[in-house]
Chains A and B, each alone.
Chain A
Amino acid sequence: MIQHARTFVALLLVMLLTQPSQAADNLQLVEQQIKAGLLYNFLKYTQWPPDRAPKDGEAIKVCLFGGDPFEGRLQPMAGRTVNEHVIEIRVVSTIADIDNCALLFVRADQKSNWPELQKALAGKSVLTVSDFSGFTMAGGMIEFTRVSNRIGVAINTERITAANLQVEDRLLRLASAARPATSDR
């Protein structure tokens, strides 16, 4: 199974299942808040190729495909800036609308539409994120996972590279801090 390394798929799973922590001073957040915060960090630590990055003064677009599953927790991100770009959040429901998205979040119930979305995304530099299980195995870039009472991510670095995106080591290192998962392909 070690050979799978050669497929460039380093599927990294964060499993911060450290010892049961002292709940008292541990930070407690609603699941959607953690995911929203992580999405902001994905924007922060990802570099888009110069020709695809938003121009100076342009907004960076976060698109939610199929609706907003964040129960209002993501909306406060709109209007904030990341790397000097204002963040704009849009709910999109058709493939035609995903063109100018920097980050595309695919709502879990849109799993069946993913293969078609993926086709439409070919050749584009869009960071794809979802929380449906198996997303990275199906060619997605970042998948939220839930391990016990913590949120983790699985990252498909092959896809990120293929889309001409660069995710900073800080995020990847955090992911690799846990056990690297093997792909069963």
Chain B
Amino acid sequence: MTPIREKRWRRLKAGLALTTALCGICALGSPASAVVEVDPFTLSPEELFDATVITVSKTPESVRDAPAAIYVLSSEDIVRSGATSIPEALRLVPGVQVARVNSAGWAISVRGFNSVLANKLLVLIDGRVVYDPLYSGVYWDVQDTPLDDIERIEVIRGPGASLWGANAVNGVINIITKKASETAGWLINLTAGNEDRAQITARYGGTVGENLHWRVYGKYLDHATDETPFGTNAEDDWAAWRGGFRADWDPNTQGDTFTVQGDIYRSDSGQMRSVPELTPPYAIAQHENISVYGGNLLGRWTRELGDDSRFTIQSYVDLTTRDQLTLGTRRNTVDFDAQYDFPMWKQNKLTVGAEYRDSIDHLSFTPIITGVGTSYDEQLFSGFAQDKITLVPDQWFLTLGSKFEHNDFTGLEIQPNARLQWDDGDLQTVWTSVARAARTPTDLERNLTISTGVIPPGIIPLPVSVILQPSPAFSSEQLIAYEAGYRRQWTPSVQMDISTFYNDYDKLSTLSLMAPQVVGNPLHIVLPIATTNLTTAKTYGFEAVLNWRAADNIKFSAVYSLLDMQLDGPPSNAAIASEGAKGQSPRNQFNVRSQWDVSSDVALDTTIYYVDALPGYNVHAYWRLDARLGWRLTSKLEFDVVGQNLLSDSHREFGAITDANAVVIGRGIYGKLLWRP
């Protein structure tokens, strides 16, 4: 990370040259592996019936075969869960910790280390990275793609199988929207309730000529304000709108697909914030407006080369501006990606790829966050290569791969991965994996000064201002992850999936107290804290999924997640907070859901969730029951009634009870009208 220099344009050109060069590889690969293109309309019925089907894999592997802990939420699962946002839908996923902090704020992580600043997760929307490099976390308030547009959400627990972009330490959440050809015509979604006061989505999809499909959408939401644990108004009401489009063009039968998509958005929410002061009362609870706006534009070209090879290049720009009491940031990101999948000899399936990303952050300093310069430019060069080797056809597979990632803080990070897989026909899969991953430092740790609070005078006669200071020596957090899994189709209607993991972390971030200083006007003590790498941790656990289709019209699914975290750091009088991570992720979680088609027009779906206590925040274990009654009035009109949190008036999910911004989550009821005129 360096302040911006004039070299930027040169870097962009370098990135372009890189993608062009890789495109050259694609052109070279094409004649070698292309199959003879047959015109199916010249074939007789006899020839067509006799032809064998070749698979052009859109996704590298089907979930059942993947040697990783992967779980897919389908669009049907999302709708039938009654969730009204992406974070809420993620509650269903094994191994994922979801805690709502307030109306527009969530703490979400995979396999532990949950925090409102959770930083070990890669989240992608249609290939666009949405974690913010300032702290490597995700602003969930603006990841608000209409649920009706989402095709599926894939969640991979564990280091991201070496293929994915940076930051896939504990997991990857991959949100994939529907192709424009899947969303033809009108769709109007009107949702109204006590918590989600209004969610309005309008979408229209059309075609130009024969091969170009497009859609546009607009969405508005208004979420009610919540209560604090003390019964006062949390002033966290949230209003947001967004609009966007997607166009897919398949110009020929050569297997080319071009996609262009983009969104613009604005979100206004609020929360209470305790702002430290050096004079009594030393902290003032103030209402904080959180105003965010931005937009993104992405283009992608995929060419299916036949013979199971394909080439993809993708580029996007993402601009976002966030303005709140504690933070002012304007970030511009440019990204180029290229990926080439191809078989080699008989037993090898190779994937190689490269990514270049340049992200520039213009910060406005606030009473909470200050620094030396206001512009921070961060570049990432990443390459990866993976080979899936067939050891015994249809039975034994070995996948070897590595990511080579260069960042401005720690230079080159090599993140290798080995996976072994055994398949028994289509019925069972056993896999095991070992991988290394690194969570690289961020500006928040390396370059910025954060005022975390003021301790009022007591035994020490002066106020003590606790300052998180820049820590240029802070280096990457390290993980070696050992995983194993077993998947089995017991009967045509019963299927299960178990994954277990042992994660060995080193150099985890630790807050170390430095020598206090007395400074003047008003006279106070500054207690500096440095971010160091002094904590190690071992986490282990497993996730189990059981799906049972009891009858044609009823389906049950049960998900259980166990997580145990052992952290080991310096004695607590020399360091703070890192041990707290243990008490911020639930040890046990499960959910059981049923999807019942009562008749062809009526569906009744229920989900029961259990989330264990968070001792770090004194949050109690809670049960949650959500139920949905869906009624198809005509082929064009559907009406849903959904109840959320039906079991209790309110519960807290995250944050200390004294945190000004943590709220209690209440019972929610909403009605939804879905109209496809």
Taking a contact as CB atoms under 8 Å apart, the answer to whether B50 and A26 are in contact is yes
Stretch at the interface among B178-186, B331-339, B375-383, B441-449: B178-186
Complex Cα spacing A67 to B41, Å: 21
Taking a contact as CB atoms under 8 Å apart, the answer to whether A33 and B49 are in contact is no
Interface assignment of B491: CB less than 8 Å from any CB of chain A: no
Taking a contact as CB atoms under 8 Å apart, the answer to whether A30 and B47 are in contact is no
Complex Cα spacing A112 to B82, Å: 21
Complex Cα spacing A78 to B55, Å: 24
Interface assignment of B35: CB less than 8 Å from any CB of chain A: yes
Interface assignment of B231: CB less than 8 Å from any CB of chain A: no
Per-residue CB proximity of A85-118 to B under 8 Å, as 1/0? 0000101011100000000000000001101100
Stretch at the interface among A35-43, A124-132, A157-165: A35-43
Per-residue CB proximity of B182-198 to A under 8 Å, as 1/0? 11110000000000000
Taking a contact as CB atoms under 8 Å apart, the answer to whether B40 and A34 are in contact is yes
Instruction: Please pick, from A28, A37, A116, A170, the residue contacting B52 in the complex, using a CB distance under 8 A.
Output: A28
Complex Cα spacing A72 to B47, Å: 21
Given A27-B38, A38-B48, A171-B45: A151 and B53 interface contact (C-beta under 8 Å): yes
Instruction: Please pick, from B45, B250, B600, the residue contacting A170 in the complex, using a CB distance under 8 A.
Output: B45
Per-residue CB proximity of A34-68 to B under 8 Å, as 1/0? 10111011000100000000000000000000111
Per-residue CB proximity of B45-67 to A under 8 Å, as 1/0? 11111111111100000000000
Taking a contact as CB atoms under 8 Å apart, the answer to whether A116 and B635 are in contact is yes
Interface assignment of A174: CB less than 8 Å from any CB of chain B: yes
A150: chain B residues within 8 A (beta carbon): 49-53
Complex Cα spacing A116 to B634, Å: 9
Interface assignment of A140: CB less than 8 Å from any CB of chain B: no
Given A67-B182, A93-B676: A151 and B41 interface contact (C-beta under 8 Å): no
B48: chain A residues within 8 A (beta carbon): 29, 34, 37-38, 41, 151
Taking a contact as CB atoms under 8 Å apart, the answer to whether B253 and A76 are in contact is yes
A146: chain B residues within 8 A (beta carbon): 53
Complex Cα spacing A95 to B635, Å: 10
Interface assignment of B210: CB less than 8 Å from any CB of chain A: yes
- A60 CB to closest chain B CB (Å) equals 14
Complex Cα spacing A36 to B253, Å: 12
- A48 CB to closest chain B CB (Å) equals 19
- A130 CB to closest chain B CB (Å) equals 16
- B149 CB to closest chain A CB (Å) equals 14
Taking a contact as CB atoms under 8 Å apart, the answer to whether B40 and A40 are in contact is yes
Instruction: Please pick, from A27, A38, A67, A91, the residue contacting B45 in the complex, using a CB distance under 8 A.
Output: A38
Interface assignment of A10: CB less than 8 Å from any CB of chain B: no
Given A23-B52, A37-B41: A112 and B211 interface contact (C-beta under 8 Å): no
Q: List 25 A-B contacts (CB under 8 A).
A: A29-B52, A30-B53, A33-B38, A36-B41, A37-B40, A40-B41, A67-B184, A68-B213, A72-B253, A73-B40, A75-B211, A75-B250, A76-B253, A93-B184, A93-B676, A94-B636, A112-B632, A112-B635, A115-B600, A149-B52, A150-B49, A150-B50, A151-B53, A170-B45, A174-B45
Per-residue CB proximity of B512-547 to A under 8 Å, as 1/0? 000000000000000000000000000000000000
Taking a contact as CB atoms under 8 Å apart, the answer to whether B210 and A75 are in contact is yes
Interface assignment of A179: CB less than 8 Å from any CB of chain B: no
Taking a contact as CB atoms under 8 Å apart, the answer to whether A29 and B54 are in contact is yes
Interface assignment of B43: CB less than 8 Å from any CB of chain A: yes
Interface assignment of B348: CB less than 8 Å from any CB of chain A: no
Per-residue CB proximity of A152-183 to B under 8 Å, as 1/0? 10000000000000000011001000000000
Taking a contact as CB atoms under 8 Å apart, the answer to whether A68 and B41 are in contact is no
Q: Which residues of B from 218 to 271 have beta carbons under 8 Å from A? A: 250, 252-253, 257
Complex Cα spacing A108 to B331, Å: 43
Interface assignment of A21: CB less than 8 Å from any CB of chain B: yes
Complex Cα spacing A150 to B54, Å: 9
Given A27-B50, A30-B54, A34-B51: A71 and B250 interface contact (C-beta under 8 Å): yes
B632: chain A residues within 8 A (beta carbon): 112
Interface assignment of A80: CB less than 8 Å from any CB of chain B: yes
Interface assignment of B573: CB less than 8 Å from any CB of chain A: no
Complex Cα spacing A168 to B43, Å: 17
Interface assignment of A31: CB less than 8 Å from any CB of chain B: yes
- A127 CB to closest chain B CB (Å) equals 15
Interface assignment of B588: CB less than 8 Å from any CB of chain A: no
Per-residue CB proximity of B151-187 to A under 8 Å, as 1/0? 0000000000000000000000000000001111100
B49: chain A residues within 8 A (beta carbon): 14, 16, 150-152, 174
A36: chain B residues within 8 A (beta carbon): 40-41
Interface assignment of A121: CB less than 8 Å from any CB of chain B: no
Taking a contact as CB atoms under 8 Å apart, the answer to whether B635 and A29 are in contact is no
B635: chain A residues within 8 A (beta carbon): 95, 112-113, 116
Instruction: Please pick, from B40, B47, B181, the residue contacting A67 in the complex, using a CB distance under 8 A.
Output: B181
Taking a contact as CB atoms under 8 Å apart, the answer to whether B53 and A31 are in contact is yes
Interface assignment of A77: CB less than 8 Å from any CB of chain B: yes
Q: Which residues of A from 1 to 36 have beta carbons under 8 Å from B? A: 14, 16, 21, 23, 26-31, 33-34, 36
B51: chain A residues within 8 A (beta carbon): 26-29, 34, 150-151
Given A41-B45, A93-B676: A27 and B52 interface contact (C-beta under 8 Å): yes
Complex Cα spacing A68 to B185, Å: 12
Across the interface, name the chain B residue whose C-beta is closest to A114.
B635
B53: chain A residues within 8 A (beta carbon): 28-31, 34, 146, 149-151
Give the 8 A-B residue pairs with the shortest CB-CB distance, closest first. Answer: A37-B40, A72-B250, A93-B185, A27-B51, A75-B210, A33-B40, A28-B54, A149-B52
Taking a contact as CB atoms under 8 Å apart, the answer to whether A37 and B211 are in contact is no
Taking a contact as CB atoms under 8 Å apart, the answer to whether A27 and B47 are in contact is yes
B326: chain A residues within 8 A (beta carbon): none
Interface assignment of B207: CB less than 8 Å from any CB of chain A: yes
Complex Cα spacing A33 to B632, Å: 34
- A95 CB to closest chain B CB (Å) equals 8
Taking a contact as CB atoms under 8 Å apart, the answer to whether B52 and A77 are in contact is no
Per-residue CB proximity of B1-42 to A under 8 Å, as 1/0? 000000000000000000000000000000000010011110
Question: Which of A33, A45, A151 has the most chain B CB atoms closer than 10 A to its own CB?
Answer: A33
B38: chain A residues within 8 A (beta carbon): 27, 29, 33
B44: chain A residues within 8 A (beta carbon): 41
- Given contacts A21-B52, A33-B40, list 14 more A-B pairs with CB under 8 A: A16-B50, A29-B51, A29-B53, A38-B48, A40-B41, A45-B45, A68-B181, A71-B250, A76-B41, A76-B253, A93-B185, A113-B635, A150-B49, A152-B49
- B393 CB to closest chain A CB (Å) equals 13
Question: Which of B52, B181, B182 has the most chain A CB atoms closer than 10 A to its own CB?
Answer: B52
Complex Cα spacing A65 to B439, Å: 48
Across the interface, name the chain A residue whose C-beta is closest to B56.
A30
Complex Cα spacing A112 to B61, Å: 29
- A33 CB to closest chain B CB (Å) equals 4
A116: chain B residues within 8 A (beta carbon): 635
A174: chain B residues within 8 A (beta carbon): 45-46, 49
